[in-house]
Chains A and B, each alone.
Chain A
Amino acid sequence: MTTFSSGTTAAVTREQISRYADAVNDHNPVHLDDEFAKRAGLPSVIAHGPLTLALVIDRLVAHYGADRLRSFDARLKAPVFPGESLTVTSTNDGVSVTNATGDVVATATLEVVEL
């Protein structure tokens, strides 16, 4: 199997954020209520950080399979908004995640094993 080089997620949707909120019981209004998010200085609601990372990990699973992943250590750099798709690109020690305008929203180190 080749090393992961890059992959892109579908655009994050509000429905997806809502489903994730229900799935993990995280109903912080910054993810669900635009007015609340605007009062917090954001243009709109934002995706949960773990949802963003789950979408990134899912791209790695699509390439390697879940059984081969051993560690993933991520730093979140910027919020992800509905409508944004994410591009996951390999780096020397893991991956970098950028939005459509090229801003880095997360970086992560990654460990994968051969089976």
Chain B
Amino acid sequence: MPSDTKRLDIGGAIGFSTYQSIERRKGNFVRLEAKGTRLFRSSMEVDAAQLEAVASAISTDTAAETSGLVNWFGVSIDGDEALVEALGMDLSRTMLAGQAYTWTRPLEVGEDVEVEVSVEDIYPRGKNHFAVIRTEIRSGDDIVQTQRTTFIESGNE
């Protein structure tokens, strides 16, 4: 995993071919042993263009303000190859079940933050499996924001 990247390269370094990946992982089941794995840790600058891209998608008068709260760091279901590879999920059976944020303040353009993404928990429930991914954003010693993302992988192929 990169540990000293200055800016997250969302366009290339962690991108991959979605269709191929979905086909390749069909029939897989999430790897229970992935619990506790650190997927990503990096120092990075909060990039104006990245916040603007998120704001553009929200597309309201308050979108710029909101973009400082809804981070994009590698926890989308198909946004980070490291995430999908580590979990071994079959994307065709996987959905986002929940997302939780805690904030002390919005992110600010140009500030330097440390981002860490890890597999907080993986557990079965009935036929399904749940995977909880935790993203922590720090500024110095202070946690600025956390995000917990819960995926559910259906046990039905």
Contacts and interface: CB of A to CB of B under 8 A. Distances in A.
Interface string A33-74: 000000010000000111101110110011001110111111
B32 interface: no
Interface in A1-45: 9-10, 16-17, 19-20, 22-29, 40
Interface of B: 10-11, 14-15, 18-19, 22, 50, 53-54, 56-63, 65-66, 68-70, 72, 76-80, 91-92, 95-106
Contacts of B58: 51, 54-55, 58
Looking at chain A's contact residues, is the secondary structure mostly helix, strand, loop, or mixed? Answer: helix
B60 A19 contact: no
A73 B58 CA distance: 19
Contact of B96 (A49, A69, A70): A49
A58 B62 contact: yes
A66 B10 CA distance: 25
A105 interface: no
Q: Which of A17, A40, A75 has the most CB of B within 10 A?
A: A75
A22 B53 contact: yes
